Amino acid sequence: MKIEIIEGGICAVKGVRAFGRKDGKNGLTLIEGKGIVAGAFTVNKLRAAPTEFTAKQIAHGRLSAVIVNSGCANSFTGEQGMRNAEKMAELAATTLKVPKAEVAVLSTGSIGTHLDMALIERQLGEVVGEMTADVEGSTAAARGIMTTDTFPKEVAIRIEAESGESVVIGGIAKGSGMIAPHMNTATMLAVVYTDADIATDTLRRCLQDAVNDSFNMVLVDGDMSTNDSVLVVATGQRGAVDEAVFKAGLTFVCQALAKLMARDGEGATKFVEVTVRDARSDGDAREAARAILRSPLVKSAIFGERLDLVCGRTIAALGGARITGELDQSKLAIRVKSDTAAVLAVQNGLFLKLSESERAIMTAKELILTVDLGMGGGAEATAWGCDLSYDYVKINAAY
């Protein structure tokens, strides 16, 4: 198969139009694209009203529109919150002349605050007149869902199977804080569209696998939001592709969006990729990689550009990770790579003596940390995240 990165985000997909706007901290995005749908949602035990509402909305398997507000999560808002989520769906349905049962509602922002429905209704009236299938529609939609994000996040690809069939997959996302997603399937939201002709059960399987290898492997601060949601809609307006081909394309898009979130972590000065190798199982490899990036001590040491501290705290994080079997210290190895250098820092469980120039690798803005567990299972997983800087505290003390 061939994957080609193209412009247009969700609007590169046949049958999709969108737009969004921001008024200070409050934004609204509206997307129209009819087709089958699959979703993945946070397992937080106090899920927000729109998250609960949308999980029920998509149960029948079809969607015509998505409405997203930013600035207010509509979380921990009781029955009024549920009524407001339903009202958002009703407003979008009436505006676009689609069934209310086929409208998904997503929200992101502060917890414990009720929606300003008058503002949402006003913004909706302004957004609908600007909706377009052109490139700017996707970018505006991605900007409308931002909270503490510093840039809009969108990606689109064209995939071509050996049969010659070609389809597009495009997505937008938001997220820079309160990110440690764990979905069965600051807040992270992602909406992905494809014009592939694909069955609902296939779409669900592909989404769950893609989420496991992308959004579930992003850690900015280790906190799980009440609103984390991913939707994928297939308009079916182009040809059919093999399931394995489609899953590879969907995973590519989800990973690209996940990496953008990690790069835009609140207060981040460095993008960090962690790969754990030779674990006993895929699940253990994922847990070990997440444990490293979840550690505030590891992340602080990366910000401080101290390779010795990064290695020591990585070892401590591994020792506390919930993985099966015993770790053999004598088999552990840690490597650090930048775009210009690579350093083996720990080998056979021992810290190596490093020169000043080797330790200077930590000044790079993008780092790849590879940890070999030496457990003999051959399983591998990769996670993405960022360092923990002073600005993270400043942002979250004030937002």
Q: Measuring CA to CA, which residue among 236, 253, 243, 241 is closest to residue 162?
A: 241
Q: Measuring CA to CA, which residue among 188, 186, 163, 160 is closest to residue 173?
A: 188
Q: Which domain holds residue 148?
A: 2-263
**Annotated active-site residue in 42, 108, 185, 187:** 187
Q: Are residues 173 and 228 in the same domain?
A: yes
Q: Which amino acid, residue 98?
A: V
pLDDT digits (tens, 9 = 90+) for 129-162: 999 999 999 999 999 999 889 899 999 999 986 6
- The CATH number of the domain where 307 resides is what? 3.10.20.340
Q: Are residues 294 and 219 in the same domain?
A: no
CB burial class (10 A; 0-12, 13-18, 19+) of residue 260?
A: buried
Last residue of a domain, one of 208, 232, 263: 263
User: Is 378 a residue whose pLDDT tops 50?
Assistant: yes
Q: Are residues 26 and 151 in the same domain?
A: yes
How much is the pLDDT for 136?
A: 98
User: Is 177 a residue whose pLDDT tops 70?
Assistant: no
Q: Are residues 52 and 201 in the same domain?
A: yes
How much is the pLDDT for 398?
A: 65
Q: Are residues 286 and 218 in the same domain?
A: no
CA–chain centroid gap for 114, Å, is 25
Confidence category of residue 347, pLDDT binned at 50, 70, 90? very high
Q: Are residues 172 and 275 in the same domain?
A: no
Last residue of a domain, one of 235, 263, 291: 263
Q: Are residues 128 and 67 in the same domain?
A: yes
DSSP 168-237: EEEEEEE-SSS----EE----EEEEEE-----HHHHHHHHHHHHHTTGGGEESSSPPPS--EEEEEE---
How many CA atoms lie within 13 Å of 111's alpha carbon, on the beta-carbon side?
14
pLDDT digits (tens, 9 = 90+) for 180-215: 445 443 468 999 999 999 999 999 999 999 999 999
The whole-angstrom separation of Cα 233 and Cα 321 is 35
Tally the domains of the chain. Answer: 2
Alpha helices in the chain (DSSP H): 49-57, 78-96, 117-128, 135-144, 200-212, 243-263, 282-294, 296-303, 307-320, 356-359, 390-398
Q: Are residues 290 and 256 in the same domain?
A: no
How much is the pLDDT for 397?
A: 75
How much is the pLDDT for 221?
A: 56
Last residue of a domain, one of 208, 228, 263: 263
Share of the chain above pLDDT 90, in %: 83
Give the mean model confidence (pLDDT) for residues 229-248: 95
How much is the pLDDT for 223?
A: 62
The whole-angstrom separation of Cα 14 and Cα 200 is 18
Q: Are residues 163 and 295 in the same domain?
A: no
User: Is 266 a residue whose pLDDT tops 80?
Assistant: no
- The CATH number of the domain where 45 resides is what? 3.60.70.12
Share of the chain above pLDDT 70, in %: 95
* Beta bridge pairs of residue 218: 384
Q: Are residues 277 and 240 in the same domain?
A: no
Q: Is 148 a catalytic residue?
A: no
Q: What is the 3-state secondary structure (H, E, C) of 323-371?
A: CCCCCCHHHCEEEEECCCCEEEEEECCEECCCCHHHHHHHHCCEEEEEE
Confidence category of residue 314, pLDDT binned at 50, 70, 90? very high
CB burial class (10 A; 0-12, 13-18, 19+) of residue 311?
A: buried
The per-residue b/e assignment along 224-254, b for 16 or more CB within 10 angstroms, e otherwise, is: bbbbbbbbbbbbbbbebbeeebbbbbbbbbb
Give the mean model confidence (pLDDT) for residues 311-315: 97
pLDDT digits (tens, 9 = 90+) for 69-120: 999 999 999 999 999 999 999 999 999 999 999 999 999 999 999 999 999 9
Q: Are residues 245 and 275 in the same domain?
A: no
pLDDT digits (tens, 9 = 90+) for 351-377: 999 999 999 999 999 999 999 999 999
Q: Are residues 248 and 115 in the same domain?
A: yes
